Chains A and B, each alone.
Chain A
Amino acid sequence: MPDLNVQTSGFPWLSVIVFLPLLGAVLLFFVRETSSRWIALIISLADFALTLPLWSRFDPSTARMQFHEHVPWITSPSINYSLGVDGISFPLVLLTTFLIPLCVLASWRSIKTRINEFMAVLLVMECAMLGVFVALDFVLFYVFWEIMLIPMYLIIGVWGGPNRLYAAVKFFLYTLVGSVLLFIAILVLFFQGGHTFDILRLTQVDFDPVVQHWIFWAFFIAFAVKVPMFPFHTWLPDAHVEAPTAGSVVLASVLLKMGAYGFIRFMLPMLPEATATFTPMMVALSLVAILYGAYMALAQADLKKLIAYSSVSHMGFVTLGIFALNTQGIEGAIMQMVNHGITTGALFLCVGALYERTHSRMIADNAGLAGPMPRFATLLVIFALSSLGLPGTNSFVGEFLILIGTFLWSKAVAVIASLGIILAAVYLLRMVQHVAYGVPTEESAGHLTDLNAREMATFAPLVVLVFWIGLFPNPLLTLMHTSVDQVIAQAAPRSPVLTHQQSPTSHRVFSTVSRKPREKRDTQNRPVAPLALVPQTPNDE
């Protein structure tokens, strides 16, 4: 039974994209170690290539789920194999398939043992992450969500640094606690929402505000651990420090996005009243994350820890944008998710390349690389500048939109959040000042070799994206507009909200912005016919 509000296409694009990496992982058990890298690279590139036609076929004028697939899986209770993408998940799907080939390239030489297994685990990881973004059934979603933990646990625990077991167990247990609560929340939604696991249907149920509050806390912990929001962030630096380069990249670039994706996809549309009630808390935690993460980054001597804490700060911007609950805020948040994936992933790749040469991640041991490694230094400067939100690079677009959205919600909050941008300049430039510039230590100056062709091939697409998104963000933003408008319409409280702690002015501004799309959605969304096989006529955008 196809659901309302979806658009199908003849070919099961999404299934192929999700399960091709899994197929590749299976294949990797039957090949020799020498060819496993190439097979992993080809499979992951093929997967990326498969998402590109999706981009051209993607219809940004509708908020409905596209490329929808629906196969009954279990009849009682009704659990379905149901996939689809919209403007919120599609950028993340693109990001994921784009980054995995780069991870394979980054692991080319740095992984020396059990190469087949490593590549297989990486591909399983890709399958699970893509599954999370495209699943439209809560049980299916949860399956992917949990599967994701295992490869990451293995990547850290098997191929990690000296303290890898502590980091892997900490990561696993921490996120597992969140997952258990998520599962309980899903069950409550099932029983309260008319016995369905269908995510789209559940977004249209009006849950009782009291129930919403309970589910909110479960969602909050599950997603806040993943983001990670302050004070649930301490697993992140450990995991990053111990993980191999590809693990850090996947972790920072995609895994951290799961939490924020959960907020946008589930919390806002399903729990509008609870969201409205707890928005001040979420905003406060985001602000703490932005400033606290930046201060933490300022105190680090280890490059990976520095970048890990900078992630806390940057993801604080993401949650801030989400809970500004307006178009600019949420679109900025999605942009920032993609941009953080690109930039922070690139920074971790830089650290990885460095570690392969100097065997140290300490800032003090890696000084003055502009001399011996000019290409590397140039790239490091570019990505650091992107990370500190320099206009013209990708991150500025996201941060600017988030600040616009926040400013509409509350000026004071935007002022505090902007302080994070100053601190970002301090901790990143301090790092650049030492690592890129500076005087090389005697033992490092002699034998350091600059990036080779494979490494340049890893970085080149990232550099292109940094500037391409920075200068032409509209193609990405266009994907999001209608879907984000729909989320905002759904997130508008359907019954009177219990508390409102906003000042009268900010509330006035807030509602003028969010009401407009809500009215539009009412005429656009409701009357869609159940069977939407025929593409809807384009909207008057």
Chain B
Amino acid sequence: MQYALIPLLPFAAFLIVGLLGHWIKERAHLVAVPAVLGSLLLSLATLRDVSGGETISVPLYTWLTSGDLRVSLGLSIDRLTAAMLVLVTTVSSLVHVYTIGYMRGERGYARFFAYIALFTFSMLMLVMADNFLQLFVFWEAVGLCSYLLIAHWYERDSARAAATKAFVVNRIGDFGFLLGLLLVWLSFGSLEYEHVFAQAAKLSGDTINLLGPIGGAWEVSTLTLICLLLFMGAVGKSAQVPLHVWLPDAMEGPTPISALIHAATMVTAGVFMVARMSPLYNLSPAAMDVVAVVGALTMVLGATIALSQHDIKRIVAYSTVSQLGYMMMACGLGAYAAGIYHLLTHGAFKGLLFLGCGSVIIALHHEQDMRRMGGLKEKLPVTYWTFVVGSLALAGFPLTAGFFSKDEILVAAWSAGALGKTLAVLGLLTVLLTAFYSFRLVFVVFWGPSRVDAHHADHLQEPSKTMVVPLVILAVLSVAAGYLGITGFLAPVLGSNESHHATPAAFGVMGTATLLGLAGIAAAYVLYVRSPGLPDRMAQHWQRAYRLSLNKWYVDEAYDRTVVRPTFSLADGLWKRVDVALIDGAVNGMARAVAWWGWLMRLFQSGQVQHYALGMMLSVVVMLSMYLLF
């Protein structure tokens, strides 16, 4: 089965490299790279196969049966899936190649390849799932790979903490996802997409009393509840507010991982899921509004934080948070095709930006602070030019892929009612911020005087071919993806909003966005090239706003105080006060009481006749007096 081979090739690579890693060692890429390239070719072939609009389904095997529950694993490929397949395999292949150079000589070279192959397998299975449980299984599996890869440099405290944080925060989202899945099964009696989507409309009148267990009455539409619970999973996986906190920390992982997992593919799984579930979301306007608003908040929050960070990977990470917000907002406003379009173009240009960061980091021997960079443009020309292309696409510069996909979202938002107009305004504001921070990055890192450590400065050079070629390919894709007619291709699955395009309002939005983008770039130029002292003065002047941005809105600190520490002190208190003192105290107390009673009784068994005689006498007296008194 050629379709089954798409995920199975990377899986085989994982098994081979994973089990024989200590023997394969530095040759791991010879197994992993061909496997993923094979998947890429098969994915491209699949794209052709589904272009007629048909859905390919490949049943694999029955996973578990219990009572009337029956879950199978299977592959289901339609146009949306095929587009995702191509994205995942493309970025994964390029990242595999890039890794050869990036991880050369590192400990755990084979382990790294094993994990990214496992990730690729899981991600492919996730997008090809034909039922909710399979989606969930691989949803968690990609989270596991993310965990393992963030912890790749496990000697670092920060890497270990970040890995655990990523897993736990995702688990919180998955808690909702799992409940949503249970509710789907209870409501539809099935977990198959096909069945559920076909029956969804029948359920639109059903409600659930949320306060039933405590005697209240708060009727909520079942479909809305399902959508919101599933969305909780997406909030975790796609780093939406308020569960976005894990993604920036996840940058502790090696940079190829940041590009593949934490920018291009895994984190977009939440957006993909919402688009996949569009037949459900479409029936629940309330849930869609929530999705849109959460997306918009994430978009603004990510962009405002990215303005002031110094770690180049963190800037790009917050930018990812922000861009994921765009995609989610688009889905929430019903423009699924626009959201997925942006997902695909973002996969190209954000992957590019991360890999660009990676080659800067390698060139500077693992330096990530932009304050110790500068003037790299001449030393790293290919990295520089590709990075500029990626930044232009991110800023929505005309004729790049990002321009088309972002405008698609903004235009769709503008034409989606009052809420849509508000969010579109926020989206336009974010365009300005995005252009500013992405070119701040370009100017500070690549322009101006060099602030590089003296002993790295002399032998700065462009990294190896295996790292440069992926950059160039992604740069080409960051432009070309805008001309492939992706929305038209996705329209049969996700619907389209072509009709809004010709209106004057649409041109207005597009024009405004372009102008704002250019303004952002110009502002960054003024601040960081023309008058370099200005940013510091501004930070002094608006200190409170600057600190809020620099400290990431204090979200981590708030969680630490309200969730993390209370949980551990509750655990500790419960253990010491309840478990040891109360429960075990009662158990040991009972034993002591028995022992004490035995000791008391032993006093009476002294073995001396006088004592027994005394006891007898006393008893007789007591009995007699009782007899006389009563």
Q: B579 within 8 Å of A by Cβ? A: yes
Q: Which of A174, A234, A327 contacts B579 (CB 8 A)?
A: A234
Is A391 a contact of B186 with CB atoms below 8 Å? no
Is B171 a contact of A422 with CB atoms below 8 Å? yes
Closest B-chain residue to A381, C-beta based?
Answer: B148
Give 1 or 0 for each of A386-401: 1 = CB within 8 Å of chain B CB: 0000111000110011
Give 1 or 0 for each of A486-517: 1 = CB within 8 Å of chain B CB: 00000000000000000101000100010000
- Known A-B contacts A326-B67, A474-B63; A429 and B164 likewise in contact (beta carbons under 8 Å): yes
Closest B-chain residue to A294, C-beta based?
Answer: B571
- Known A-B contacts A403-B178, A414-B179, A422-B171; A332 and B137 likewise in contact (beta carbons under 8 Å): no
Task: List A contacts of B138 (CB < 8 A).
Answer: 391
Task: List A contacts of B568 (CB < 8 A).
Answer: 298-299
Is A296 a contact of B64 with CB atoms below 8 Å? no
Task: List A contacts of B167 (CB < 8 A).
Answer: 425, 429
Task: List B contacts of A173 (CB < 8 A).
Answer: 591
Q: B367 within 8 Å of A by Cβ? A: no
Q: B546 within 8 Å of A by Cβ? A: no
Is B575 a contact of A296 with CB atoms below 8 Å? yes
Task: List A contacts of B160 (CB < 8 A).
Answer: 433-434, 437-438
Q: A368 within 8 Å of B by Cβ? A: yes
Q: A408 within 8 Å of B by Cβ? A: yes
Of A174, A392, A400, A408, which is in contact with the most chain B CB atoms at under 10 Å from its CB? A400
Task: List A contacts of B62 (CB < 8 A).
Answer: 474
- Known A-B contacts A174-B587, A433-B160; A299 and B64 likewise in contact (beta carbons under 8 Å): no
Closest A-chain residue to B582, C-beta based?
Answer: A231
Q: B243 within 8 Å of A by Cβ? A: no
Is B185 a contact of A404 with CB atoms below 8 Å? yes
Task: List A contacts of B576 (CB < 8 A).
Answer: 299
Is B186 a contact of A509 with CB atoms below 8 Å? yes
Q: B200 within 8 Å of A by Cβ? A: no
Is A295 a contact of B570 with CB atoms below 8 Å? yes
Is B175 a contact of A414 with CB atoms below 8 Å? no
Give 1 or 0 for each of B570-599: 1 = CB within 8 Å of chain A CB: 111011100100011001000100000000
Q: A357 within 8 Å of B by Cβ? A: no
Give 1 or 0 for each of B169-207: 1 = CB within 8 Å of chain A CB: 001100100110011011000000000000000000000
Q: Which of B140, B164, B212 contacts A505 (CB 8 A)?
A: B212
Task: List B contacts of A408 (CB < 8 A).
Answer: 186
- A509 and B66 CA atoms in complex are apart in Å by 17
Task: List B contacts of A418 (CB < 8 A).
Answer: 175, 178-179
- Known A-B contacts A296-B575, A368-B155; A234 and B168 likewise in contact (beta carbons under 8 Å): no
Q: B151 within 8 Å of A by Cβ? A: yes
- Known A-B contacts A296-B571, A474-B63; A433 and B137 likewise in contact (beta carbons under 8 Å): no
Is B141 a contact of A391 with CB atoms below 8 Å? yes
Instruction: Give the distance to chain A from B144, nearest Cβ to Cβ, in Å.
Output: 6
Q: A439 within 8 Å of B by Cβ? A: yes
Is A422 a contact of B587 with CB atoms below 8 Å? no
Instruction: Give the distance to chain A from B159, nearest Cβ to Cβ, in Å.
Output: 8
Q: B161 within 8 Å of A by Cβ? A: yes
Task: List A contacts of B575 (CB < 8 A).
Answer: 295-296, 299-300
- Known A-B contacts A391-B136, A410-B213, A419-B175; A477 and B65 likewise in contact (beta carbons under 8 Å): yes
Is A404 a contact of B574 with CB atoms below 8 Å? no
Q: B567 within 8 Å of A by Cβ? A: yes
Instruction: Give the distance to chain B from A413, nearest Cβ to Cβ, in Å.
Output: 8
Task: List B contacts of A292 (CB < 8 A).
Answer: 574
Task: List B contacts of A410 (CB < 8 A).
Answer: 213
Q: A426 within 8 Å of B by Cβ? A: yes
Is B64 a contact of A391 with CB atoms below 8 Å? no
Report, as a range, how many residues of chain B touch the other chain.
Answer: 35 or more
Q: Which of A235, A327, A505 contacts B66 (CB 8 A)?
A: A327
Task: List B contacts of A170 (CB < 8 A).
Answer: 587, 591
Number of A-B pairs, beta carbon distance below 8 Å: 144
Q: A289 within 8 Å of B by Cβ? A: no
Q: A254 within 8 Å of B by Cβ? A: no
Task: List B contacts of A403 (CB < 8 A).
Answer: 178, 182
- A519 and B397 CA atoms in complex are apart in Å by 69
Instruction: Give the distance to chain B from A408, nearest Cβ to Cβ, in Å.
Output: 7
Task: List A contacts of B447 (CB < 8 A).
Answer: none
Closest B-chain residue to A408, C-beta based?
Answer: B186
Is A513 a contact of B154 with CB atoms below 8 Å? no
Is B579 a contact of A296 with CB atoms below 8 Å? yes
Instruction: Give the distance to chain A from B44, nearest Cβ to Cβ, in Å.
Output: 28
Which residues in window 404-422 of A have CB below 8 A to B? 404, 407-408, 410-412, 414-415, 418-419, 421-422
- Known A-B contacts A299-B571, A391-B136, A505-B212; A433 and B163 likewise in contact (beta carbons under 8 Å): yes
Q: A331 within 8 Å of B by Cβ? A: yes
Q: Which of A298, A390, A471, A513 contacts B567 (CB 8 A)?
A: A298
Q: B613 within 8 Å of A by Cβ? A: no
Q: B629 within 8 Å of A by Cβ? A: no
Task: List B contacts of A407 (CB < 8 A).
Answer: 182-183, 185-186
Instruction: Give the distance to chain A from B462, nearest Cβ to Cβ, in Å.
Output: 33
Is A328 a contact of B171 with CB atoms below 8 Å? no
Instruction: Give the distance to chain B from A218, nearest Cβ to Cβ, in Å.
Output: 18
Instruction: Give the distance to chain A from B595, nearest Cβ to Cβ, in Å.
Output: 12
Q: B1 within 8 Å of A by Cβ? A: no
Q: A430 within 8 Å of B by Cβ? A: yes
Q: A63 within 8 Å of B by Cβ? A: no
Q: Which of A368, A370, A390 contacts B144 (CB 8 A)?
A: A390
- Known A-B contacts A170-B587, A292-B574; A327 and B175 likewise in contact (beta carbons under 8 Å): no
- A234 and B568 CA atoms in complex are apart in Å by 20
Task: List A contacts of B584 (CB < 8 A).
Answer: 234
Q: A189 within 8 Å of B by Cβ? A: no
Is A295 a contact of B64 with CB atoms below 8 Å? no
Is A295 a contact of B66 with CB atoms below 8 Å? no
Is B570 a contact of A513 with CB atoms below 8 Å? no
Q: A473 within 8 Å of B by Cβ? A: yes
Of A433, A438, A505, which is in contact with the most chain B CB atoms at under 10 Å from its CB? A433
Give 1 or 0 for each of A110-137: 1 = CB within 8 Å of chain B CB: 0000000000000000000000000000
Q: B628 within 8 Å of A by Cβ? A: no
Q: A385 within 8 Å of B by Cβ? A: yes
Closest B-chain residue to A413, C-beta based?
Answer: B213
- A390 and B209 CA atoms in complex are apart in Å by 31
Instruction: Give the distance to chain B from A119, nearest Cβ to Cβ, in Å.
Output: 32
Q: Which of B141, B155, B567, B579 contacts A439 (CB 8 A)?
A: B155
Is B64 a contact of A437 with CB atoms below 8 Å? no
Give 1 or 0 for each of A56-96: 1 = CB within 8 Å of chain B CB: 00000000000000000000000000000000000000000
Q: B624 within 8 Å of A by Cβ? A: no
Is A422 a contact of B168 with CB atoms below 8 Å? yes
Is A414 a contact of B171 with CB atoms below 8 Å? no
- A170 and B172 CA atoms in complex are apart in Å by 38
Is A430 a contact of B66 with CB atoms below 8 Å? no
- A472 and B65 CA atoms in complex are apart in Å by 11
- Known A-B contacts A370-B154, A404-B185, A421-B175; A390 and B570 likewise in contact (beta carbons under 8 Å): no
Task: List A contacts of B591 (CB < 8 A).
Answer: 170, 173
List 12 additional contacts besides A426-B567, A473-B64; criterion CB under 8 Å.
A295-B571, A295-B574, A300-B575, A385-B144, A391-B137, A392-B141, A401-B64, A411-B186, A418-B178, A421-B175, A437-B151, A478-B65
Give the interface of B toward A (CB within 8 A).
Answer: 62-69, 133, 136-138, 140-141, 144, 147, 151, 154-155, 157, 160-161, 163-164, 167-168, 171-172, 175, 178-179, 182-183, 185-186, 208-209, 212-213, 567-568, 570-572, 574-576, 579, 583-584, 587, 591
Interchain Cβ contacts under 8 Å between A and B, 18 examples? A173-B591, A327-B67, A370-B154, A385-B144, A391-B140, A408-B186, A411-B183, A411-B186, A411-B208, A421-B178, A429-B164, A429-B167, A429-B168, A433-B160, A433-B161, A433-B164, A437-B163, A474-B63
Give the interface of A toward B (CB within 8 A).
Answer: 170, 173-174, 231, 233-235, 292, 295-296, 298-300, 326-328, 331-332, 368, 370-371, 385, 390-392, 396-397, 400-401, 403-404, 407-408, 410-412, 414-415, 418-419, 421-422, 425-426, 429-430, 432-434, 436-439, 471-474, 477-478, 481, 503, 505, 509, 513
